[in-house]
Each structure stands twice: as C-alpha cells, then as structure tokens.
Structure 1
Amino acid sequence: MNHTETAYAKINIALHVRRKRSDGYHDIETVFAFCADGDIVTAKPAEELTLTIDGPFAAGLATTDNLVLDAARAIGVTAALHLTKNLPVASGIGGGSADAAAVLRLFPRHPGESRGPLSRTGNGTGGEMDPGVRRDDDFTKIAAKLGADVPACVVSRTMRGSGKGDDLTRLPSLAGTPVLLVNPRVPLSTAAVFSSWDGKDRGPLGDWHDGRNDLETPARRLVPQIGEVLEWLAAQPGAALVRMSGSGATCFALFGTMTSRDAAAARVPADWWHLASVLR
C-alpha cells in the first residue's frame, strides 16, 4: 500500500534579516505561508531505503544524496520513496525542506500510531525505533537539524518564524487566499544571496502587510529577471500584495479573488514558470 504526502510550496510573506550569527546562520523574522500545492512524496514498504524521482523538475536531482533520504534516515525509516518534483529547484519556495518535511509527516510521531506497514530501523541495526525519538520535542529537533525551514514546512500553516526561522509562533490563518507564484526559470543559490546581503539591520518585522524581503536587493543583483517578474505581478489587476519569496527567484502575488488570480495566471509569459494556488 502506498502512502502519499504533499510537500507544500512555501512562501515568505515578509522576511527581515537582522544579523549574521556566529554559527553561520542568520537571525531572521519572517511570516511563512504555504500553498495547497507542491511536490508529492510517496512511500511504500520496503526492506531497504531507496529514492526515485520524476516530474518536470527532476533533472539533475540526486537519488543518493537528497534531503528526502536524510529525513528518512533521521527517523529510522525503511521504505521505497518516490518524489514527484513539481516545483522548480533553488527557487525560494521550500524545495528540499518541504520534501523532507513531507517525509516526516508520512510516518508516525508517537508509539501506537500507524498509517500502514511502513517500518522504522532505529539506529540502523534493525528493529523498532526507540519510542522516545517520536516525542514531539525530539521530532522538532530532528526537523531543525535537517534545515532551518524544515520545522515550518512540517506544520505548513501560517506562522511567524524567528531565530534561524525555526522558532515558530502560529498566526491567524490565511487559508483560502488566492496566490500566484511566478519564477523566471533561473535557479538561485540561497547561500549566494545571503552572502550578498549588505549586513544592515533595517528593523524588526511588525505587521506583515508593512513588511519587506531584505533578500530581494541582493537576489536582484544576482538575477535581474526578478525585477521583471515583480513589476509584471504588480501590474496585474487584483494583485493585493506582491513580493519575492525567500531568497528568490520565485515571486508571488496575493489576490482578492480567484477570478483575478486566474486571469493573471493566463497572462504569465510562456518562458516563466507559474503556479496558481490558494494558501492553506
């Protein structure tokens, strides 16, 4: 029996970078929101952990060195995993973090929970995983070790993030808000964008409506097409909020109605990738 989980596309409605930390990460203040659509992770029982990948953005992705496998190993899972990569790679909308989070959601967190005959291998020596590892506090630690965005992607609901982005607080839901994601089909390294940030603290995040994305300027220097996408989105009738997500190059617009979102989606230039969805 196969078990399937969506790796929901993430957007940062606002992203304020406050300072670089001694551990190499940055202290940020952000508002995470998640689309109802994304990559798809499927698992079925197997004696060995394996990964296969297909989908429109599968090209070049490794099936031996992948966050999907890292997540499975972190919780001691043995399964045949399959990733359908619907979202562009290195695009500021969760990517590997969302895929890893989907793996974590596929498997039970507490003793006695079960979604089917998917087995855990514990520390690799075989047998059932130590139930202590399934406690929510340890589960959150496992997610954080996989990546700064993974804890938020596990929950995949509207949240405020601080610290590395893994100190999370629930916010009022934005579920049902129409959203259009647009990417110029140019991959962009998160590390390169953070390295190009000028180091200036431009102030804390208050109301996200008045927020900003401090990574937009360095991202636009690396990929000037981001500016074109933002200008195009801002010109669309009904676009209520237009920003870049994460470290780019994906940008998004929130719309007041599905009709205006769909009309904009129909006009997206053919050489750009886009996703018309709703927030969850």
Structure 2
Amino acid sequence: MFAGAADRLTHEASEAPLSLELTGPFGQKLASEASDDNLVIRAARLLTQGMDTPLTGRLILEKNLPVASGIGGGSADAAATLRLVDRLLALGTPEARLLAIAEQLGADVPVCLLQKPTLMRGIGEQLDPAPALPPCGILLVNCGEAVSTPAIFKARNAAFSEDAILPAAWPTAAAMTDDLQRLSNDLEPPACTLCPSISIVLDAIGALPGCLLNRMSGSGATCFGLFDTAEDAEAAARRLRQEQQNDWWVWAGAVLPASDQSPA
C-alpha cells in the first residue's frame, strides 16, 4: 500500500549532459553511496535508449525517505523517473513497455509505477489488485540503522508462509487489521535478531493508543502501525516523538486508496 511519505523528483532543463543532484534530509547519505549507476539515472537512460536526441539537463531528487529502509523509496524514485521523462519528452510510452523497463530496474519498481494497493507475489513481478482498503491512518518509524537484505534472507531458518487468502474488500480498518493480525512478515524475526532496535521500535509503536497493528515493512528496518484514522496516526506520532528522545525518523498520515493515486 502507499502513503503520502515521498521523495520528490524534478527536472531542470539545460543543454548539459544529463546529471543527478541529490538534496533533502537523506540526500547526503544517498550521495555517499550513489554513482553513475543510480536508479534514477538508469531509469532515464533505459527509457531514452536508442533515441536520436538524448535527455539533457539535471534531475533533482529531494530525498525525504530514509535510504535502504524497506519502504520502496528507491524503487518509487525509479518509477517516478520513468513517468517524468515520458512526460518531459512527450513519448507516450505504452504502460506495458514502462512496466517491462521497470522490471529491469528492480523487483519493486513495477508496483511503484502502478502506485495502487497491490498483492505482490514471486519476486514482485506478479501483481494483482489488493482488497479495497478502508480509510485508515499509518505511522512509519525508522530507527536509523542499516540492515542488509541478503543477510536477513541468509539468517532465515524457516519456510515462507502460504499465500494470504483475503476478501475483496474491508469495511473498516478494524476488520482489515483483524485479518492481517493472522498473517506475518516472515523476514521480521531474522531482522530483529540482526538489528534488535527493530524490536524496540515495534514495541514502541504497539504501545501507542489506538494502534491496531504493528509490523516491520519489507526487509526493514522501517516499521509501521495502522490506525483508524490519519488523525489518530498523527497523534500517535506526536506522542512517540515526545516519549522517544532519539533520532528516529517518524512520519504519519493516511493510507492512500486506489482512487487517490496519481503516479508521479
């Protein structure tokens, strides 16, 4: 599912060869790891490959999301690049081709291109519509510690869960979280072993008034809590900031239903 927490990508026109500038609270960290192989540059080049007139100017990525944090920030940046470059050059690229390019960039890029609540299977390439989501709020918290996805998979010593069987829709957030409580993130136990701070974050979220469900996102280290409303989630975020005097990244707002999505 998607929320309002996001990076921002813009293009500054010029005749200079295509370049990438990183800004925002997490721009410096990404810059220390970035190279000419950055996903944003790769996405732009793949889409314009073979064109007589290459894209020029500067792409500016305002990095507001923690780096490598299990919430699809880099994948969303790559998907946004495909949409932005397609609009800039008025290419009118068919969605099927955009999805094919997205899959070359990473397993999570296609779902970020579609930007709708989605059931993902396989390595992320098998996409089906998710149940219709009720209005609800979400709290995102990242402890600031990096976790290695390959190390988490290597540390697993159990089979993966069976595919979830879910209804076509949930009438309320409580009904949704009742179903989700019976499921789990199979990567959460090994991630907590390798990064105990994740357990601390999960406990802190779960103790907040109104929290209906707390889980780790993806392979971590970001964790989330679901609430009845965006206002409940925002109140929980304020309380968490007061109680936890640390450098955790905290964001709260609404879960976005399919009707509110406008791929960027």
TM-score range, shorter chain: 0.7 to 0.9
Report whether the alignment pairs 1:49 with 2:18: yes
Give the direction of change, closer, same or farther, for the CA distance of 1:69–1:175 in structure 2 (3 Å limit). farther
**1:95-134 alpha-carbon deviations (Å, 9 max, x no partner):** 21111011112133xxxxxx4xx348xxxxxxxx7x7xx2
SS in 1 for 2:28: coil
Report whether the alignment pairs 1:94 with 2:66: no
Give the direction of change, closer, same or farther, for the CA distance of 1:233–1:36 in structure 2 (3 Å limit). same
Flag the structure with higher strand content: 1
Matched letter for residue 198 of structure 1: N
Aligned to 1:158: 117
Aligned to 1:18: none
Report whether the alignment pairs 1:59 with 2:37: no
Choose which of 68, 72, 76 in structure 1 pairs with 2:44.
72
Aligned to 1:111: none
Aligned to 2:245: 270
**1:228-256 alpha-carbon deviations (Å, 9 max, x no partner):** 11111111111111110000010001101
Matched letter for residue 126 of structure 2: D
Separation (CA, whole Å) in 1 of partners of 2:189 and 2:115: 27
Separation (CA, whole Å) in 1 of partners of 2:120 and 2:14: 36
Gaps of 5+ in 2: 49-53, 167-178, 257-264
Choose which of 179, 189, 200 in structure 2 pairs with 1:228.
200
CA RMSD of aligned residues (A): 1.9
Separation (CA, whole Å) in 2 of partners of 1:176 and 1:203: 27
Give the direction of change, closer, same or farther, for the CA distance of 1:196–1:46 in structure 2 (3 Å limit). farther
TM-superposed CA distance for 1:89, in Å, is 0.7
Separation (CA, whole Å) in 1 of partners of 2:112 and 2:128: 13
Separation (CA, whole Å) in 2 of partners of 1:262 and 1:137: 38
Q: Is the contact between residue 152 and residue 190 of structure 2 (CA under 8 Å) also seen in structure 1?
A: yes
TM-score normalized with structure 2 length: 0.80
Give the direction of change, closer, same or farther, for the CA distance of 1:258–1:119 in structure 2 (3 Å limit). closer
Report whether the alignment pairs 1:214 with 2:190: no
1:189-204 equivalences in 2 (<5 Å): 189-198=148-157, 200-204=159-163
Q: Is the contact between residue 41 and residue 84 of structure 1 (CA under 8 Å) also seen in structure 2?
A: yes
Report whether the alignment pairs 1:37 with 2:5: yes
TM-score normalized with structure 1 length: 0.76
Aligned to 1:184: 143
Matched letter for residue 66 of structure 1: N
SS in 2 for 1:107: helix
How many residues in Structure 1 have an aligned counterpart in Structure 2? Answer: 229
Gaps of 5+ in 1: 1-32, 109-114, 121-128
Aligned to 1:279: 255
Separation (CA, whole Å) in 1 of partners of 2:196 and 2:121: 28
Give the direction of change, closer, same or farther, for the CA distance of 1:251–1:68 in structure 2 (3 Å limit). same
SS in 2 for 1:275: strand
Q: Is the contact between residue 57 and residue 89 of structure 1 (CA under 8 Å) also seen in structure 2?
A: yes
Aligned to 1:6: none
**1:179-207 alpha-carbon deviations (Å, 9 max, x no partner):** 10011111112222222222513322223
TM-superposed CA distance for 1:170, in Å, is 1.4
Moved more, 252-261 or 155-164: 252-261
Moved over 6 A (4+): none
Give the direction of change, closer, same or farther, for the CA distance of 1:256–1:65 in structure 2 (3 Å limit). same
Separation (CA, whole Å) in 1 of partners of 2:253 and 2:151: 29
